[in-house]
Amino acid sequence: MAFPTAKRGYLFFTALAALLAALISLRQTLTAKPERPPPVIGKNNTVLFVTNVEHGLSNVHVATVFSLLEHHPEITVHFASWAKIRPKIDRISAYARRLTPQSRDVVFHELPPPNFYDAAGKTSLAIMQPPGIEGLKALNDDMALFISPWTVEDHLEIHDSVRDLIRDVDPALVVLDMFVRPGMDATRGDNRLHAVLSPNVLADIFIGDQPWLGGFWKYPAIGSGHSFPVAWRDIPSNIYQTAAFVWGMLYNAELTEKRKSLASHGLKDPIDFFNIHLPGPGAFITQDTAGASIPIDYVPPNVTVTGPITISVASAEEQDPELAAWLERAPTVMVNLGSLMEYDAARARPMAAALKTMLERTGVQALWKLNRAEDLKDEDWRPLVEQFIESDRLRVSKWLTVDPAALLETGNIVASVHHGGANCYHEGIAAGVPHLILPGWLDLYNYAARVEAIDIGVWGNRKTAPGFSVDELSSAFLKLVDGGPAGVLMRENAKKIRRTLVRPGRDVAADEIARLAAWGH
């Protein structure tokens, strides 16, 4: 039976009022920070990083380590992670010695397997969900996976390895990746002085601390794709999505059982998602960037905001002279959907078709990083762009031979096409290059909405996310690079933000870490 309009409105606002009352109580519980004794501080000028290997999580750590080696050679850097990242650490150590001969080698410590990606056991295609309410169930179903994918047994083994390493190295400061939850539990279990270094921005972490419950109605819910500030028409949906996310974090059955089991083994407050930031003498370091990031009203006093933290240890010409010379031939569109995003035929085909349209109608060229799903075949996409591959206007490879930040710094990249990851976004911000974002899960949707709100890019699959369509993607490409007024304005706006950046974010982060490391004995 249909309700009269007035009655439906009454029921809606009654339910909304009840929900808000419950959330007020819930927020007070969630944001209460535990009192802690003064932290244990170890050897002077000794730092231990505990970091994942996945590029989207580790790049800010690797970039900051490079800055420490270059500008703070008095610091001894230890780096705990998995074997896959070791070549990158050796590489930045070698580059740092060229710039600062007195810098010391990073001491690498291998953690027991599995790493985050292997523990999760899912490809990017398996975790995709659409934005908004439609994607909530998939988001909540995968909650335990996103927060901490390790089994209890693996969590304990990694926890004990990090704990023993901390006690052996005795660093003045531990620098944490907030997604190495066993390492965070070990560090806090021993009450060590620590800093959390995150690729995420302030609005990702601190919306629960905002006045007037702004985290529910003012700031876009994770995965919602809402603009900031949230439009009036979207506020009910935003409240619902935020509440559902919080509820899932608190009462996800798998997470709850994992926490109980870890606590029974003596871990204190394991996998405590709502207290990633702690007040006190440590620090939370974020690459939040004024003008590019959503502004928030309240920032805790021990938070350091750095601007973009990017890896750029050598120029593109030094890393790959032939590719650098090719970039000089024409304005270039770089398509790099991160390290985890895979292309199946349903994504590779429309991407190839859209690139074909762009290359036919403009004078640009394109560099496409194609990370193939296992079942993707050349015939699924290559015939669409074969002529441009043969004429060398389109280059396609699984990996980039040059750091993305260095490619962007050449000035020859006119558009950065990416998935909306925090690192890809901030690399574009640092270079003053407009974005075409193709999100597929979680906070990626919020970055896509952000570039359109501040007019520095295009959300390229708003109608079809998490998939792609030829028409929508072709239109987005052309809007960016066809020379029209919309694309020109986006380039101007992106350059305007870049001009506000005073120092590399990695140097700001390194200075804060060096300051804390100097507290040691």
pLDDT tens digits along 23-62: 444 444 454 555 778 999 999 999 999 999 998 899 999 9
Average pLDDT, the chain: 90
Q: In this predicted structure, what is the pLDDT of residue 136?
A: 82
Share of the chain above pLDDT 90, in %: 76
Q: Domain-by-domain residue ranges, the chain?
A: 43-309+504-517, 316-499
316-499 shares the fold of 43-309+504-517:
yes
pLDDT tens digits along 498-518: 999 999 999 999 999 999 999
Buried/exposed code over 434-464 (b: 16+ C-beta within 10 A; e: otherwise): bbbbbbbbbbbbbbbbbbbebebbbbbbbeb
Q: In this predicted structure, what is the pLDDT of residue 34?
A: 58
- What is the C-alpha separation between 198 and 244, in angstroms, rounded? 24
- What is the C-alpha separation between 401 and 87, in angstroms, rounded? 14
Residue 416 near residue 460, CB atoms below 8 Å: no
- What is the C-alpha separation between 232 and 345, in angstroms, rounded? 39
Q: In this predicted structure, what is the pLDDT of residue 122?
A: 80
- What is the C-alpha separation between 301 and 299, in angstroms, rounded? 6
Check whether 458 has a pLDDT greater than 60: yes
Residue 414 near residue 332, CB atoms below 8 Å: yes
What the block records as the tokens of 421 is: 């990851």
Q: In this predicted structure, what is the pLDDT of residue 408?
A: 97
Mean pLDDT of all residues in 438-447: 89
Q: Residue 87: in which H helix or E strand, if any?
A: helix 86-99
What the block records as the tokens of 214 is: 């702004």
Check whether 254 has a pLDDT greater than 90: no
pTM, two decimals, is: 0.92
pLDDT bucket at 9, cuts 50 / 70 / 90: very low
Its CATH class, for the domain covering 43-309+504-517, is: alpha beta
Phi/psi zone of residue 420: left (φ > 0), alpha (ψ -120 to 50 degrees), beta?
left
Mean pLDDT of all residues in 368-372: 95
Mean pLDDT of all residues in 202-217: 90
Pick the CATH number of 316-499 from 3.60.15.10, 3.10.20.740, 3.40.50.920, 3.40.50.2000: 3.40.50.2000
